[in-house]
Amino acid sequence: MVVAPRSFLVTLALGATLIAAPAAHAVVWGLKSLAPSTGAASSAPTALFSFNEDGTGLATSGNVTVAGVAVDADGLAISQTNNLFAYALSPNGSQLLSLDSGTAVGTAIGSALSGREIRGAAFDTSGQLFALDALNDDVLLIDTTTGAVLSVISLAVAGFDIATGADLAFRADGTAVLVEGGAFYLLNLATSSVTPLFTETVIEVGTATPFYAGIAFSANAALDDLFAYEVNGTDDIYLYPAIDSGFSRSLLLAASCPSTRFDPPRFSVPLPGARTTGCRHCVWCGGDYAQDGLR
């Protein structure tokens, strides 16, 4: 998922009205892909959605398309200039896309990465794009103008297996955090080391084990406030405030199957194609968060 800052009200620039002006919120962007009954981890269509970092304003831009065709997308990221990027996934590999935030129309950048399955991506504080390859357990440094791989950092060397539900986010201080299922890790790109931070054990809907498919930090929130997207239950979005002092989550947004919630939904707006009756687990899965490079 992606966090982008909202524009300040004009009155904030007038000086005398600074005290009376409300605080600005960031916009958080995400992807939700259809969960097939068997086989692949996800499939088309993939909805591009957004909400404010305070949990309000849930909206969708539409399904991600390339040349008019709906695609399975993951690896969402936003640049320091607020441009959205993602990867279209296919059996042949992963294709870098630039995404129109208003229409979800994707434009291919360069050639597809053959034999790569990009399941998470984020820009660091220097504006570099890093992508998680779940097929080969690599972290890739990507050229955003050509889509080419500039360097490869192998996590397999450290014995770490990147799952299809993994994601990556950078804090404003440059710290890289990786999530895989219910487990959070510190990722040291210089040493290719992965250090456990925390594993969520609070049960989701029914007896569902927590599985986070996306995480994000916001430049507008505290340095250690973490957004997390859970997809094994009913696709809820949580906030972990002040993780430097411990991991304790609070529900921020009940995202997509409101009529099947065991907890009271904050919103009643299902994403396109979401099944709202007759299911305990949602038909949508495979979300992805990313954080913005604006500091």
Cα–Cα distance, 295 to 293 (Å, whole number): 6
Q: Which residue, among 28, 33, 30, 53, has the nearest Cα to 282 in the 3D structure?
A: 33
Cα–Cα distance, 238 to 250 (Å, whole number): 6
Q: pTM score > 0.75 for this model?
A: yes
- From the options 2.115.10, 3.40.640, 1.10.150, 3.10.10, give the CATH code of 2-13+24-288: 2.115.10
Q: Which helix (H) or strand (E) holds 284?
A: strand 284-288
Confidence of residue 290 (pLDDT cuts 50, 70, 90): very low
The per-residue b/e assignment along 277-289, b for 16 or more CB within 10 angstroms, e otherwise, is eeeebbbbbbbbb
Q: Which residue, among 157, 184, 159, has the nearest Cα to 169 in the 3D structure?
A: 184
Q: Which residue, among 103, 96, 22, 98, has the nearest Cα to 59 in the 3D structure?
A: 103
Please report, for residues 53, 116, 139, the alpha-carbon distance to residue 189 in angstroms, rounded to integers and kept in the order given. Answer: 28, 19, 8
As a whole number, mean pLDDT of residues 143-171 equals 94
pLDDT of residue 38: 65
Most confident of 7-21, 211-225, 256-270: 211-225
Domain boundaries, the chain: 2-13+24-288
Over the stretch 71-127, which tens digit does the pLDDT of each residue have? 999 999 999 888 999 999 999 999 999 999 999 999 999 999 999 999 999 999 999
Give the dihedral sign, CA 194/197/201/203.
negative
pLDDT of residue 7: 30
Please report, for residues 32, 51, 217, the alpha-carbon distance to residue 255 in angstroms, rounded to integers and kept in the order given. Answer: 10, 10, 18
Question: Does the pLDDT value for residue 252 go beyond 70?
Answer: yes
Partnered with residue 107 across adjacent β-strands are 98
Query: Is the distance from CB of 234 to CB of 259 less than 8 angstroms?
Result: no
Cα–Cα distance, 270 to 276 (Å, whole number): 8
DSSP structural state of residue 256: S
pLDDT of residue 25: 57
* Strands 193-199 and 236-240, bridge-based pairing: unpaired
DSSP structural state of residue 38: S
